[in-house]
Amino acid sequence: MARIAVIGGTGYAGSHIVKEAVDRGHTVVSVSRKEPSERVEGATYATATLTDGPGVVAAIGDVDVVVVAVAPREDMAGRVRPGIAGLADALPEGTRLGVVGGAGGSLVAEGGPMLIDAGEFPEAFQPEAREMIGVLDDLRADETGLDWFYVHPAVLFGAYAQGERTGGYRTGGDVLVANEKGESTISGADFAIAILDEIENPKHRRTRFTVGY
């Protein structure tokens, strides 16, 4: 079993990842900036902020994998990209880093363009999408040998479109996953399954992948 820390573990994506990891028998530390009102039984909770990489490392202790599920919105706008960079620098050698991105950086077809540049991407969400694309750029530029993976969820992913746990999902490499009707969606529970499958059986080392139905 792995020792897993989830930064942003009380948010939508993070809480699903924490639950799935606990259910599979892993040792899990959920990190957030304040004490949560609801907890997943079996997980350990710690308070720290992504903007303090050394502080996060001190809070989580000795872990095998760190998953960052923090969105660059509201007071975290403009702070997630440097926060992840600082965390990557502070992680002990051999620690794997996973990042939950957004759909905007996915390609709409092999060779591009990215969804955010393909038209009709909501203007209100463009700043956070651009910041998370920047995170991916930073990971790709890493020359330290950091073991990382980056995951783009489907377009419809979040508390507004929770869906159900089906136990299934598809991955699409660089390309946004959508069904034959052009619908791109994934539930929080099934997204978490994809994350834990990658942790338990790594197939995407130092690269990104997309997840959807």
> Taking the domains of the chain in order of start, what are their residue ranges?
3-212
Instruction: State yes or no: pLDDT of 155 exceeds 90.
Output: yes
- 3-212 falls under which CATH superfamily? NAD(P)-binding Rossmann-like Domain (3.40.50.720)
Sheet of 44-47, strands arranged across:
44-47, 27-32, 3-7, 65-68, 96-100, 148-152, 207-212, 170-171
The tokens for 209 are 């992948």
In whole angstroms, give the CA distance from residue 153 to residue 92.
28
pLDDT tens digit string along 75-115? Answer: 999 999 999 999 999 999 999 999 999 999 999 999 989 99
**Burial class of residue 193, CB neighbours in 10 A (0-12, 13-18, 19+):** buried
Residue 112's pLDDT is 86
